[in-house]
Amino acid sequence: MSRGRRSIVALVVTGVMGALSVIVASRLATPPTLPSSVVSVVVRDGDGVTEVARRLEAAGVVRSALAFRLWARWIGRDRTVQPGTYRYYQAFYRDSDPAFCGASPATFNASNAVMVAW
């Protein structure tokens, strides 16, 4: 392969990897919107990370099952799924004073979600 072709291939691969990293990062950076203040997810004995990721996405706990699976593999937790019932708690509250949130028109806030294994 000539030097020019290798440069083009390297440029294309770099571009694709950059685009994929932007997509994954934007998915992970945007917090999920929970349908209620308490969400329960049951993990059965023998469930793999793929099934758990699907359940978490369906429950609204994570935005992307694929991103969750990739993250679990990246940190080495894709083979250590623990069965049990997991509940996710998040508080939503309103502030009637729009100036409280600054220039934003939003008059509500949400706490970080907390996971509790039961």
Nearest CA to 111 among 41, 59, 57, 37?
Answer: 37
Which whole number is the average pLDDT over 21-40?
A: 62
* pTM of the shown model: 0.52
How far apart are the C-alpha atoms of 67 and 56, rounded to whole Å? Answer: 11
Domain boundaries, given as residue ranges, for the chain: 31-117
Instruction: Grade residue 108 by pLDDT with cuts at 50, 70 and 90.
Output: low
How far apart are the C-alpha atoms of 52 and 41, rounded to whole Å? Answer: 9
Reduced to 3 states, what is the DSSP secondary structure of residue 30?
coil
Nearest CA to 35 among 14, 7, 57, 20?
Answer: 57
Options 3.30.1490.480, 3.30.70.560, 3.40.50.80, 3.30.2010.10; CATH of 31-117: 3.30.1490.480
| Residue range 44-103, pLDDT digits in tens | 888 889 998 999 888 888 888 998 899 888 888 888 888 888 887 777 666 666 665 555
